[in-house]
Structure 1
Amino acid sequence: MQLEYIWIILAVIVLLAELWAINVVLRSTGGWETKGLWLIILIFVPLLGLIAWAMFGPKREMADHRKS
């Protein structure tokens, strides 16, 4: 497999993960300020934003969801 194909596959995987993260942010129960901030981070800093969202984003919301 050529190196170019590997980069294309990785780019598609990151793009799909970004779209999934954006979808989860839009469907979340947080306020519009929080959603807007996460969307800006995810769109303008894709890879680092995705990593930050995975580390800090859904865990807090999932913990809040389990309490109710």
Structure 2
Amino acid sequence: MNVSVGNGFLGLVILILDIWAIINIVQSNASTGAKVLWVVLVLLLPVVGLIIWFFAGPRGGKV
């Protein structure tokens, strides 16, 4: 596999996971301020923000 193809695929996977995290953040029961902070964290630090959100962030809670 070409290195640039592998890097492009990894970037696409990170993008998809970040979008998934943002959707879950927006659908969560957290306050608006908390949602904004989490979304900004995920956008500014795509990999680290995603990891932090996965372990400590709000999840979609609407039924």
Whether these two folds match at TM > 0.5 is yes
Which consecutive segments of 4 or more residues in structure 1 shift more than 4 A? none
Unaligned runs of 5+ in 2: none
Q: CA deviation at 1:33?
A: 1.1
Unaligned runs of 5+ in 1: none
Aligned residues: 61
SS in 1 for 2:57: helix
Q: Which has the higher helix share?
A: 1
SS in 2 for 1:29: coil
Higher relative contact order (CA 8 A, sep 6+): 2
Q: Does 1:14 align with 2:22?
A: no
Superposed CA RMSD:
1.5
Supply the distance in 1 between the matched residues of 2:32 and 2:19 (Cα, whole angstroms).
Answer: 18
Give TM-score, length-normalised by structure 2.
0.88
